[in-house]
């Protein structure tokens, strides 16, 4: 008698397959069919777990935010000083390339084409990361008012939307910038995050 597979196991397989495809393909070209081929699963079977491709990506995005939350919690367990915080945050973002790519490129499509319950689940992960980030700000800047911390948090999260495209321009984008006479040696995710966060978290 065959063992019945747990839904969480199949969901993780679907997410891992989606992530693998997204490494070398763009959002538009990743399809539910291709995801199914990666794990030998039919499209109708995938639809038992997710209503759309966008929901798969949104759940993948949620997973990324929750992983970042774990890193933010670890940062908060140690000493958090104004001088050290930008570097620690930049190191944590350096590991979140997938999260930053999804945030910069495909957030709108994922949110627009997902069911409300999936979107709420994602927003909870996002909210948790914002709360943890604010906790680090409280620890590093104990004398700052809540309104000032809120401005720092907002500016830092806006920075996250733009880091990936600057750190990972495509060959076509680089060629166009060369022709247009625009410099494009912007740096790595870590370098860009450190520079931006260093200015914001003063």
Tokens linked to 33: 């069919």
61-200 — its CATH code? 1.10.357.10
Q: According to the model, what pLDDT value does residue 81 have?
A: 95
* Domain layout of the chain by residue ranges: 1-49, 61-200
Distance CA 86, CA 195 (A): 8
pLDDT single digits (tens) 16-67 = 999 999 999 989 999 999 999 999 888 889 999 999 999 999 999 999 999 9
Q: According to the model, what pLDDT value does residue 98 have?
A: 94
Dihedral in degrees, nearest 10, Cα atoms 66, 68, 69, 72: 170
CB count within 10 Å of CB 9 equals 9
Distance CA 94, CA 191 (A): 9
Distance CA 186, CA 98 (A): 19
On whether the 1-49 domain is CATH 1.10.10, my answer is yes
What pTM, to 2 d.p., does this model score?
0.86
């Amino acid at each position: 008698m065959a063992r019945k597979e747990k839904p969480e196991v199949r969901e993780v397989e679907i997410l891992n397959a989606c992530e693998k495809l997204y490494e070398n393909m763009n959002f538009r070209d990743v399809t539910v069919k291709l995801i199914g081929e990666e794990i030998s699963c039919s499209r109708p079977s995938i639809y038992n777990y997710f209503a759309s491709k966008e929901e798969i990506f949104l759940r993948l995005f949620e997973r990324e935010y929750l992983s970042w939350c774990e890193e933010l919690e670890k940062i908060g367990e140690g000493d958090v000083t104004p001088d050290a915080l930008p570097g620690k945050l930049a190191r944590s973002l350096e590991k979140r390339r997938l999260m930053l790519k999804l945030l910069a490129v495909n957030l709108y499509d994922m949110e627009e084409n997902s069911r409300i319950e999936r979107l709420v689940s994602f927003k909870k992960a996002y909210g948790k990361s914002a709360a943890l980030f604010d906790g680090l700000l409280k620890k590093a800047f104990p004398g700052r008012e809540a309104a000032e911390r809120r401005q720092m948090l907002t500016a830092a999260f806006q920075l996250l939307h733009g880091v990936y495209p600057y750190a990972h321009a495509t060959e076509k984008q680089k060629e166009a910038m060369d022709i247009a006479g625009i410099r494009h040696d912007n740096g790595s995710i870590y370098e860009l995050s450190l520079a931006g966060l260093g200015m914001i978290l003063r």
